[in-house]
Chains A and B, each alone.
Chain A
Amino acid sequence: DTAVSQTPKYLVTQMGNDKSIKCEQNLGHDTMYWYKQDSKKFLKIMFSYNNKELIINETVPNRFSPKSPDKAHLNLHINSLELGDSAVYFCASSRRDQRTDTQYFGPGTRLTVL
């Protein structure tokens, strides 16, 4: 059973398009995250949701909009895609009551903007 799943795994699109990435976790966790990993392999937090409430919103262009319909899902919608958005996007989840923020990551979505 996949703990944290993301779709699609690969996404190739043209500049200016709008695209979404979906994430689901079946671990019963209450906190979910989106990270961006660039070509230099830095993994940077973008957003975090706890029980569907946004708790972290890093300095990310407002073209990126997360949506959490329920505790098990966190989607990422990106408007007007730019070349610099090309990266691997990882979804992750954790349990807040553990107080250690140990992250369980999805397999990643490789986004290529042409």
Chain B
Amino acid sequence: SQKIEQNSEALNIQEGKTATLTCNYTNYSPAYLQWYRQDPGRGPVFLLLIRENEKEKRKERLKVTFDTTLKQSLFHITASQPADSATYLCALATGRRALTFGSGTRLQVQP
């Protein structure tokens, strides 16, 4: 069966460190993968998209990698800040004009 797995445990890090979140998938061959941020009580907000032929994408302090052989994407936040605390969701294009989302990883950045 198709699965998207993200660390269900919360990730706690100190301010200024790099946060690394993982998204693993099985039985998909997505054309692209997206990352979203969700704050409590709000809808997810799009952050970054990476295509299958791209290894890495950057936007300010964010970096995403995509390894289609390992079927894994890593999401990095460098110089993390307390304001980065949120749940981060990965989402795959599954060819049906809709996205399939992982359950998200909650990131807590301690001041």
Contact = CB atoms under 8 A, between A and B. Distances in A.
Interface of A: 4, 31, 33, 40-45, 48, 50, 55-56, 90, 92, 96, 100-108
B46 A103 contact: yes
A45 B36 CA distance: 15
A92 B36 CA distance: 13
B43 A108 contact: yes
Nearest to B105: A41
22 contacts: A4-B43, A41-B103, A41-B104, A42-B101, A42-B103, A43-B89, A45-B100, A48-B98, A50-B97, A55-B97, A56-B96, A90-B43, A90-B44, A96-B97, A100-B32, A101-B98, A101-B99, A103-B46, A103-B91, A105-B45, A108-B42, A108-B43
**Interface band, chain B:** 20 to 34
B93 interface: yes
Nearest to B96: A56
B97 A101 contact: yes
Contacts of B80: none
A43 B44 contact: yes
Contact of A100 (B36, B42, B93, B103): B93
B46 A104 contact: yes
Contacts of A104: 46
B100 to A, nearest CB: 7
A56 B49 contact: no
Contacts of A101: 93, 97-99
Contacts of A33: 98
A45 B42 contact: no
B99 to A, nearest CB: 6
Given A101-B93, A103-B46, A108 B41 contact: yes
